[in-house]
Amino acid sequence: MEHEIFMLNRIEFLLHLADNALIIGHRNSEWCAHGPALEQDIAISNIALDYIGQARNFYQHAAFLINELPHESSVFSIPATEDTLAYLRDASAFKNHLMTELPNGDWAFTTLRIFFFSSYQYFLYQQLIQHEDAQIAAIAEKSLKEVTYHLRWSSDWVIRLGDGTTESYQRMNTAINALWPYTQELFQENNFLQPTKNILAQIQTDWNEKIKNIFEEAGLHLPEKSVQYQGGTKGFHTEHLPIILTEMQLLQRVYPNCEW
Amino acid sequence: MSTHSNSKIEWPLWEIFVRSKQGLDHKHVGSLHAADAAMAIENARDVYTRRMEGISIWAVESKNIHASNPDEAGSLYDPANDKAYRHPTFYDLPDEVKYM
């Protein structure tokens, strides 16, 4: 029984990692063919694909563990696959951070979100490389190279826009005020985060330091005080997530098991 | 972004050279727009090396490349036409020498 709870927690943790990557990946993919310049369109589409790739790896591993569970205890439909996990779960079952599901806004909002989120992933994956589950460790190691690039690319944009024209500075400031209320959720403890609980504080310290350094270079300032939202990891989402899922899951919901 | 276009100024054009593997030359692969050299290399990484094409990237602003004039092709290249003695084709190569 204890082992089952342990495994369920691990599965939830994997779904959380996968959902985060899938949803922010989907948001970034919405830029495809709408980027501000051809080259940046390709860059953000590449980043979107990196995220979807990470999501697939985590879902595949989660599906494997789900299928290993004793049947009577499983709260998941079996057999699980990466597709059933991505396409056949409802919004309340998704465990992504709220930050990832917010609409794209403008280029400043989009790049700042990638900056906040990839900084978080950068420090998280560095810890996950030492995870006792060898599969999680391997996915983290593979993904870290991608994340390192996302972080460099997005830092570059935060600095460019913050230290750019009056308008770009204003847009970046607007983005900071809009996104900051969703940043502290990244470091919220949660049952299924058990294995990472004691490292969250360290990740937060490293994250704060990173944000501070880039903001200094960009001539930007952290908001003094701000309301903080949370609930995503528990399945309490903004109204934006169901809209994403409606679009993303439409085909599988209307034509179950269809292939194309 | 595109609706607010007080930024009508286009990013400069850059020529991109990629070395596909150690020991080979950088080869011209194409051009792209970028605000500065750093962005040109980042963009080149996304545009030209996403399928493992390279291990090194050079970016040169296109305005710094000076080209020969096509109108002068006659005087520049034709005189080489009938000077076969400039080609090292009058030697017998030993079989042991490969890759020539």
Whether the bond between A79 and the residue before it is cis, its omega within 30 degrees of 0, is yes
Cβ contact A186:A99 at 8 Å:
yes
> Which ranges constitute the DSSP H helices of chain B?
37-48, 73-77
Query: Does residue A90 register a pLDDT over 90?
Result: yes
Of B2, B7, B43, nearest to A39 by CB-CB distance is: B43
The letter for the amino acid at B96 is: E
Judge: A156–B34 Cβ closer than 8 Å, yes or no. no
DSSP state of A184: G
* Structural domains of chain A sorted by starting position, each given as residue range(s) with its CATH number in brackets: 2-220+231-254 (1.20.1260.10)
Place of tokens 């969703």: A182
pLDDT (0 to 100) of residue B3: 46
| Cα B86 from Cα A166, distance rounded (Å) | 62
Phi and psi at B93, nearest 5°, equal -85, 135
- Which distant-in-sequence residues (6+ apart) come within 8 Å of A132 by Cβ? A195
* Structural domains of chain B sorted by starting position, each given as residue range(s) with its CATH number in brackets: 13-64+72-86 (3.10.20.520)
A177: closest CA among A104, A230, A117, A112? A112
Judge: A46–B50 Cβ closer than 8 Å, yes or no. yes
Please write the tens of the pLDDT for every residue from A168-220. Answer: 999 999 999 999 999 999 998 877 776 566 788 899 999 999 999 999 999 99
pLDDT (0 to 100) of residue B74: 82
DSSP state of B27: E
ipTM score? 0.71
Please write the tens of the pLDDT for every residue from A128-143. Answer: 999 999 999 999 999 9
Query: Which of B4, B16, B42, B49 has the highest number of chain A CBs within 10 A, making it the mutation to test binding with A?
Result: B42
pLDDT (0 to 100) of residue B8: 62
Query: Does residue A45 register a pLDDT over 90?
Result: yes
User: Which residues are B15's β-sheet partners?
Assistant: B31, B60
Output the average pLDDT for chain A. Answer: 93
Judge: A42–B34 Cβ closer than 8 Å, yes or no. no
Query: Which of A30, A31, A39 has the highest number of chain B CBs within 10 A, making it the mutation to test binding with B?
Result: A39
